[in-house]
Structure 1
């Protein structure tokens, strides 16, 4: 059984997609053992509690220094002892000590087709604003392993979404979530839970489908 902890900052729509998929058994062999947010007002925490999942807030604002926060964050993760950490709209930079501790055991969902519109400063609506400004015809989402870079880890899954002529950043964001994010994040977790992702020469390869 793959034990996962989900990290969130806001509404938790990707968290909801994961919880729904676990309950529907489209994610198999998986248990959500905790949800952590940096925002005590995040609706994601309420979503978790409604499903009986332990949920807590660990915010940099509550610590004297970033180092103190990093230590507390790592300590909490170690107590939970997850097999996999899932970043589902988590807007805090992951400390390097956490990345090292959970190497190849931490994944992130990003609302673009990496390497387009990713890296420092590209998050939330900013990604979709940039895509529309550039005039691209196809956008999408990417699930990747987390490494020390920003959106640079091995890519696990991607799904494309067509851009429409009348799209706004908000409508595009919603469609990318519905058509891509909420589908490939649960799928990636299921693949990992069932041993179907291998890292070969620094690339994530889907095996045995």
Structure 2
């Protein structure tokens, strides 16, 4: 059934939320028309992104659920049960799209099975097929120093069961400049991420 209301997004974060901020700034602009972030969920209580959500022009509801405290409070439950609990919080917000924007936890079947037809996308700081999983930026930088790669980059991709192997929606190369420190490369890469997360979200929603 076609809906004329805004497309509803849930964003999952773990840290500062700079990619979340890019989405907040883009919602209801030509970059992301007729879009509303309806929930920001963090797996870290101190994530600054929660404050960004609360301080948005129209404050965004937030939620927090971390795996270790959850497992401690639910003896006998597993990582999959935690993922299912995250999925239930997300589903209650009735999203049209779920965006993992710096979410530092690999979501398994407990999450994906419950999302059903709701698409899930992820921002990953590496090119398709390169440096899946954690610490991708540092690993790419190190590989460049060793002469193993000539370029690095980022992608926004669909989330499937295989980590960082879903269909890429947006791919952007970010050159590593000779002699630059890791921090400088990281800073340039993050600026590209802010643009890509908005473009990937728009593409996934078809707006």
Could you say which TM-score interval applies, normalised by the shorter chain? 0.7 to 0.9
* TM-aligned CA distance change 1:4 to 1:148, over 3 Å: same
Supply the RMSD in Å over aligned alpha carbons: 2.0
CA distance in 1, matches of 2:144, 2:109: 29
Q: Which has the higher mean CA deviation after the structures are superposed, 99-108 or 36-45? A: 99-108
TM-score (ref. length: structure 1):
0.84
- Residue 169 (1) aligns with residue 174 (2): no
Give 5+ residue unaligned stretches, structure 2.
1-5, 72-76
Moved more, 121-130 or 151-160: 121-130
Which structure 1 segments of 5+ residues have no match? 196-209
Alpha-carbon distance in structure 2 between the residues aligned to 1:96 and 1:33:
24
Look up the SS of the partner of 1:63 in the other structure: helix
Aligned length: 193
Contact 1:3–1:31 under 8 Å retained in 2: yes
The verdict on how the C-alpha distance between 1:90 and 1:124 changes in structure 2, with shifts beyond 3 A counting, is farther
SS at match of 1:182: helix
Which sits farther off after the overlay, 16-25 or 4-13? 16-25
**Higher mean C-alpha displacement, 45-54 vs 128-137:** 128-137
Distance apart, 1:20 and its partner CA: 1.0
Alpha-carbon offset, residue 85 of structure 1: 0.5
Within the alignment, does 1:154 sit opposite 2:167 as a pair? Answer: yes
Shift of 1:67: 4.0
Deviation at 1:174, TM superposition (A): 1.2
In structure 1, distance between residues paired with 2:102 and 2:137? 8
Name the SS for the 2:27 alignment partner: helix
Match of 1:202 in 2: none
Question: 1:129–1:46: structure 2 CA closer, same or farther, 3 Å change rule?
Answer: farther
Corresponding position of 1:191: 203
Which has the larger strand fraction? Answer: 1
Q: How does 1:190-209 map to 2 (within 5 A)?
A: 190-194=202-206
Kept after mapping to 1: 8 A contact 2:169/2:203: no
**TM-score, reference length from structure 2:** 0.84
Once the two structures are TM-superposed, the CA of residue 134 in structure 1 deviates from its matched residue by 4.2
